[in-house]
Amino acid sequence: MRTSKQQITLDPIPNGACKLCKNKAERRQFEDGAFCAEAPSVVDELPVRCVGEWAYDKIYRLVQYFGIFAQGMHKRWKGGINYVEICSGPGRCILRERGEEINGTAMAILQDKRFKYIDRALFIDRDQMVVGTLNKRIENLGLSHKARALAGDYTDKDGLLAELKKLNTNALNLVFIDPTECNVPFETIRAIATHLKNVDFIINVTLGTDANRNLTPSALNSSFEKVRRKYELFLGNVGFFEKPEVQKAAKQRDYSTLRKLFAETYKAEFEKLGYSHTDTRSIRHYYYLLFASKHSKGLEFWRKACTYSPHGQKQLDLGM
């Protein structure tokens, strides 16, 4: 299979109403829940979300894999193929560093030319306004017959499963999970994998932001019990912080080793579910994308999707 860099549909356009906020304090002045209150989309006048420029790298990685996955499997998999995105966002966002509006992950997927190969697409977010906004965008694209946004909380695995059970159980599924913290319980991952059976995961793991700030105090300070519990639920591993190597790294303020141990533990929990084909790709120093599949073909597709960096450089596949 010949590998080439695929184009992604971003529909970039300057948004003159963007305040070019430089920090969280400035952004709070203009936030309205999940949205920027000052700068509606210049494309459709619907709300947008403010994001950092690194969001492009994430969108790029996701869509590269989606394209190869959808095109490569739609004729091979008789049960059809589905796409599920959890923490979807409203579909459009603004890169705050330069005031440029682009498609978020949901709209980039919906407008990709290979979306025609998808049987069903679900976009799940806990914010009702986000869901309503994305459904309007789906309707504007004329895709309501095969795609919809719905309200759901990743901490409510039973609620999520109630929606996922409506999908064909014989289908092949791609599930993308994009939280802003390491707070999606592993029980939710386990429930999705158990019910859908045939599923590849791409998960945003905020190791360089949320976890980087809190892993050391969570290991050493009893007052961080609530945060520690969040990470234990995320990892699916209650004993992580008591491991001698974790305690040692925390006491030495060896943040690099602590992050590595965290990532290895998370990956190991996927392997227990049968996901023996995994890979990670850094999104600058902020977070990484974990890819997990039960099949070697999935990992083959992922590595082909990662042949080029988000900024065009060809990358070596070292098989790591």
Q: What is the pLDDT of residues 93-139, one digit of tens each?
A: 999 999 999 999 999 999 999 999 999 999 999 999 999 999 999 99
Instruction: Give the residues of the chain that fall short of pLDDT 50.
Output: 1-4, 316-320
User: 287-293 and 13-14 as β-strands: parallel, antiparallel, unpaired?
Assistant: unpaired
pLDDT at 5: 56
- Kindly state the tokens that stand for 300: 């083959």
Pairing of strands 31-32, 92-95: unpaired
Residues sharing a CB contact under 8 Å with residue 120, sequence separation 6 or more, in sequence order: 80, 82, 83, 146, 147, 167, 168, 171
- The encoded tokens of residue 158 equal 């039973």
Task: Give the C-alpha separation, 157 to 277, whole Å.
Answer: 24
pLDDT of residue 315: 57
Look up the CATH architecture of domain 13-305: 3-Layer(aba) Sandwich (3.40)
Residues in the chain: 320
Q: What is the pLDDT of residue 3?
A: 43
pLDDT of residue 209: 85
Predicted pLDDT of residue 126: 94
What residue segments make up the domains of the chain, in order of their start? 13-305
Q: Contact, 200 vs 69, CB < 8 A?
A: yes
What gap in Å lies between CA 70 and CA 272, rounded to an integer?
A: 27
Compute CA distances 277 → 12, 35, 62, 80, 111, whole Å. Answer: 35, 37, 17, 22, 29
* Strand 147-151 relative to strand 172-177, pairing: unpaired
Closest CA to 99 of 11, 15, 28, 10: 15
